[in-house]
Amino acid sequence: MDISLILRAAGVGLIVSVVCQILNKSGRDEQAMLVSIAGVIIVLLMLIKELGSLISSIKNIFGL
């Protein structure tokens, strides 16, 4: 895992938090919640490859 993955996740988090704050201030709480859920899904999709390699490493360590 390199630093670029962490920086991309942080960038998505920063953008999502700004958009959520703007939507909350304008009274659109439902859209703010949907944006935050979409941000979590986007970050999880970015991490799927790394999570797969982590699980395969754990399987190799324990001989499964």
* Domain residue ranges of the chain, discontinuous segments joined by +: 3-62
Question: What's the pLDDT score for residue 57?
Answer: 92
The packing angle between helices 3-25 and 29-62, to 10°, is 160
CA distance 8 to 16: 12
**Higher pLDDT among residues 12 and 63, named by residue:** 12
* pLDDT value of position 40: 95
CA-CA distance, 5 to 34, in Å (whole number)? 23
State pLDDT tens for residues 1-59: 679 889 999 999 999 999 999 999 999 999 999 999 999 999 999 999 888 988 999 99
C-alpha pair distances (Å), 45 with each of 9, 12, 30, 55:
10, 12, 23, 16
